[in-house]
Amino acid sequence: MTHPLIDRLETEFGWPRLSTMAGARAFIARPGAHCLFVPGDPARNLETADAAVILPELRAAFQNAFDCAIVDNAIEAEVRETWRALKTPGFLFFREGAYLGDIQKIRDWDDYLARVSHILSLAAA
């Protein structure tokens, strides 16, 4: 199930929707910092639509320091399990394939800014 605000991330912002783990691993292995957006079920989780609005604003606040992709429902459970980010919606951050950290559920804007600053400051393991 998709939501118009999630679809907008693809159509308006051009973010890829990743439907295979191989595709997800290829996306996060590229040079630079990356964020996988794990939306969850928008019909059951009302925060999903909020997260779809917040993430582009967060990316802009960090002057596009990371690129983003949407995790498709086909691999969502595997992505959440692989990186132990079990709550949705979630933003999972990587640099050159290395997992840096995540932000799960909806937060206050200042909390996002502090957490993303911290995550992006981490060296890839």
- E strands present in the chain: 17-18, 33-38, 66-71, 90-95, 98-104
Check residue 123 and give its pLDDT: 74
**What are the residues facing 101 on neighbouring strands?**
93
3 state DSSP class of 82: helix
Tell me, what CATH number does 62's domain have? 3.40.30.10
> Each residue of 53-77: pLDDT tens digit?
999 999 999 999 999 999 999 999 9
Q: How far is it, in rounded angstroms, from Cα 99 to Cα 113?
A: 19
Distances (CA, A) of 52 to 32, 36, 123: 22, 12, 27
> Each residue of 93-103: pLDDT tens digit?
999 999 999 99
> Each residue of 39-53: pLDDT tens digit?
999 999 999 999 999
Q: What is the pTM of this model?
A: 0.95
Pull the structure tokens for residue 19: 């439907």
**Into how many domains does the chain fold?**
1
Residue 64: domain span = 4-121
Longest dimension (CA), the chain: 37
Q: How far is it, in rounded angstroms, from Cα 59 to Cα 55?
A: 6
